[in-house]
């Protein structure tokens, strides 16, 4: 009998970037563990498909179209979630982008802003809005998605790396300030996970693919479901004394 602490039964979770890749795999794993799940992104049709799959697992679900990089859309997202489920117990800040492959000497302000607004600023302000709800309901768990690129720099990817390093520190600041409200904030730093974001990166950086994949010690490049164990662990009561931490899930890439 596995510890019931790993169950998400009775919990309401929100997953941003929930229409595909890591967000979709996370949302489905949460539903399998017993949670009701709200998924959000900019792609409503894809979100609706995920919500349908969640309902197929016997849980409630809702698809909400939001651009998390637009601060004026955040409050509406949170209010919609609370109106539907009454509370938010788990938030996964997974929405992220890396639209630009550009040397730092040439990076333009617009590219910087588009990456920062979504990956870091939106993550912060959505966490703030959800934390206010969690505080009123006795606590919760926030999981931020950083990257190994937030721990070790990559050339031509400056804004992304900086934003992901910011996510690690945001995790620690939020954990420090909100621990007393029983709100835990942790971070997952994925390695090179096979997603559309990853595929588009190899399109612009084919030469490094062999080098990078050679550094991964386990199983080569992995599918998004290698992250779901850490996601459910951090969302559940099994991790209830853990806060402010980053778990790297990278098949050993950082060690090489």
The set of catalytic residues is 160
The site string for another protein over 97-116 (x = CB under 8 A, - otherwise) reads: --------------------
Regarding 242 and contact with another protein (CB under 8 A), the answer is yes
Closer CB to another protein, 25 or 77, in the complex: 25
CB 66 within 8 A of CB 18: no
Distance CA 7, CA 162 (A): 34
Distance, CA of 82 to CA of 33 (rounded, Å): 21
Among positions 121-180, residues that touch another protein (CB under 8 A) are 172, 175-177, 179-180
Least separation in angstroms between CB 9 and another protein:
6
In the complex, least distance from residue 192 CB atom to another protein, rounded to whole angstroms: 11
Q: Which is nearer to another protein, 69 or 166 (CB)?
A: 166
The span from the CA of 133 to the CA of 139, in Å, is 9
Q: What is the DSSP letter of 138?
A: T
Closer residue to another protein (CB): 79 or 219 = 219
Candidates 63-71, 87-95, 144-152, 215-223: pick the segment binding another protein (CB under 8 A): 215-223
Secondary structure (DSSP) of 52-87? HHHHHTT--EEEEE--TT-GGGHHHHHHHHHHHHS-
Question: Does 33 participate in binding another protein (rule CB under 8 A)?
Answer: yes
Please tell me whether residue 44 binds another protein under the rule CB under 8 A: no
Alpha carbons 238 and 89: distance in angstroms, whole number? 14
Q: Is 73 in the site for another protein (CB under 8 A)?
A: no
Residues 167, 126: Cα–Cα separation, whole Å = 13
Q: Would you count residue 34 as binding another protein (CB under 8 A)? A: yes
For the bound state, the minimum distance from the C-beta of residue 104 to another protein, rounded and expressed in Å, comes to 29
Stretch in the footprint of another protein (CB under 8 A) among 41-49, 108-116, 158-166, 216-224: 216-224
Q: Which conformational region is residue 21 in: left (phi greater than 0), alpha (psi within -120 to 50 degrees), or beta?
A: left
Enter the tokens of residue 220.
């080569």
Closest by CA position to 160, among listed 146, 173, 171: 146
Contact residues for another protein, defined by CB under 8 A: 1-3, 5-7, 9, 32-34, 172, 175-177, 179-180, 182, 184, 191, 217-219, 222, 226-230, 232-233, 237-252, 254-256
């Amino acid at each position: 009998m596995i510890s019931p602490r790993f169950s998400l039964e009775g919990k309401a979770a929100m997953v941003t970037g929930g229409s595909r890749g890591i967000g979709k795999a996370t949302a489905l794993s949460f539903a399998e563990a017993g949670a009701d799940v709200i998924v959000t992104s900019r792609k409503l049709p894809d979100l609706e498909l995920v919500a349908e799959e969640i309902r197929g697992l016997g849980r409630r679900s809702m698809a909400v179209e939001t651009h998390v990089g637009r601060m004026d859309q955040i409050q509406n997202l949170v209010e919609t979630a609370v109106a539907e489920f009454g509370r938010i117990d788990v938030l996964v800040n997974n929405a992220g982008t890396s639209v630009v492959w550009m040397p730092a000497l040439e990076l333009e302000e617009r590219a910087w802003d588009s990456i920062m607004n979504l990956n870091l600023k939106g993550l912060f302000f959505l966490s703030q809005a959800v934390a206010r709800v969690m505080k009123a309901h006795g606590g919760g768990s926030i999981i931020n998605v950083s990257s190994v690129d937030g721990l070790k720099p990559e050339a031509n990817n400056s804004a992304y790396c900086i934003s992901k390093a910011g996510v690690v520190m945001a995790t620690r600041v939020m954990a420090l300030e909100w621990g007393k409200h029983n709100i835990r904030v942790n971070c997952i730093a994925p390695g090179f996970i096979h997603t559309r974001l990853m595929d588009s990166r190899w399109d612009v950086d084919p030469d490094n693919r062999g080098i990078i994949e050679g550094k991964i010690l386990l199983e080569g490049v992995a599918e998004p479901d290698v992250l779901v164990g850490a996601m459910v662990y951090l969302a559940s009561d099994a991790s209830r004394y853990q806060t402010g931490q980053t778990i790297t899930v990278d098949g050993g890439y950082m060690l090489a």
